[in-house]
Amino acid sequence: MKILITGGAGFLGDRLARALLALENLPLAGAAPGPVEHVVLVDRVEPRADLLADPRVTPVTGDVAQLLPGILDGVELVFHLAAVVSSEAERNFDLGMRVNLTTTMQLLEACRRLPSPPRLVFASSLAVFGSTPALPLPVVITEDVLPTPQSSYGIQKFIGEQLVADYARRGFIPARTVRLMTVTVRPGLPNAAASSFLSGIVREPLDGRPSNSPVGPETLVAVTSPARTVEGLLRAATARDSEWGAHTAVTLPALTVSVGEIVDALTRVAGPDVSALVGWQPDPAIAAIVESWPSRFEAARARGLGLSADENFDTIIRAYLDDTVPKEA
């Protein structure tokens, strides 16, 4: 089986590629399991060297839209993760539209034109839900709540969801959408996502550096670990049509936690000297985006697929430390 991941050198793309390569076989949409023989990682930068050392991995560097349709040759499964993240899409409208919307449209159409279209999994976001005083969201987001995005990123992702649903409904390509929660803790440098601080207030203090929360400790957020996110993406690829159900997006389960509780978990896991490195300087622009997002989800369809939220934030921090702290010989 040949699999393509757009955004393949990014944090989630890297994790997903490693998970796929670790599988002996993948039962695509409930079919007979097939071996993962080839993983193509498309991104503007190259993947990490140890991933490239696997002979089954092929890196393709460049713009996804400009590489179509050639990168789809022989591909049976596409994970479309490439995106301009929330704050960056808000600052640069044209870039967000080009990457988040136009490229998604071009990818769908390129898949449609193939003699045997690949199955496609589109990564959307909780940012498709937004609340305003005039149209407040319910306390808990259930499967029947209509998305009302309040950012360019959320709008672009929601349009992508609808396109994927229509291409699937019409039988053009077998395609599914999963809505991802805020994934934390991400290693490396901060990115331009409005939610980036949710990793920063853990990652930087653990490295002995100060970090700042742009929102108050009472702010509730919906989060998930990298492992649970990859689990959800893989389940979108393997579920039978009868299990998946409607063409509308499946919202992945979330752990609801306040930012203050994240810092409390950091204290329990790493000690008060570490958590004392977290500051509380407000940023109204970031706060406006983050506080418009819902924090509680029912995710009944995801639970029906066997998916669940992380137990607590302590386990998320410990998993991050297991992944990133070098083990003693």
- Cα(118)–Cα(19) distance, integer angstroms: 20
Indicate the CATH number for domain 2-324: 3.40.50.720
Q: State residue 132's pLDDT score.
A: 85
Tokens 């083990």 identify what position? 327
Neighbours of 155 (CB within 10 A): 21
pLDDT digits (tens, 9 = 90+) for 88-101: 999 999 999 999 99
pLDDT digits (tens, 9 = 90+) for 173-231: 999 999 999 999 998 877 777 889 999 999 999 999 999 999 999 999 999 999 999 99
Whether 322 and 247 have beta carbons less than 8 Å apart is answered as no
Beta bridge partners of 78: 4, 120
Distance of CA 87 to the CA centre of its chain: 15
DSSP conformational letter for 124: E
Mean pLDDT in the chain? 94
- Structural tokens at position 133: 């005083």
Q: State residue 328's pLDDT score.
A: 45
Residue 129 to residues 36, 136, 184, 283, Cα–Cα distance (Å): 35, 10, 19, 21
242 CB-near residues (< 8 Å, 6+ apart): none
Q: Which amino acid is at 98?
A: R
Dihedral sign from CA coordinates of 92, 93, 94, 99: positive
User: Is 153 tagged catalytic?
Assistant: yes
Rg (CA), the chain: 19
Q: State residue 326's pLDDT score.
A: 57
Residue 101 to residues 9, 114, 119, 158, 181, Cα–Cα distance (Å): 20, 21, 19, 9, 20
In the chain, domain spans: 2-324
DSSP H or E segment with residue 26: strand 25-26
Tokens 């349709």 identify what position? 69
For the chain, list residues with pLDDT below 70.
325-329
260 CB-near residues (< 8 Å, 6+ apart): 216, 217, 218
Beta bridge partners of 2: 38
Q: Among 43, 171, 187, which residue's Cα sits nearest to residue 119?
A: 171
Catalytic residue chosen out of the listed positions 122, 153, 293, 320: 153
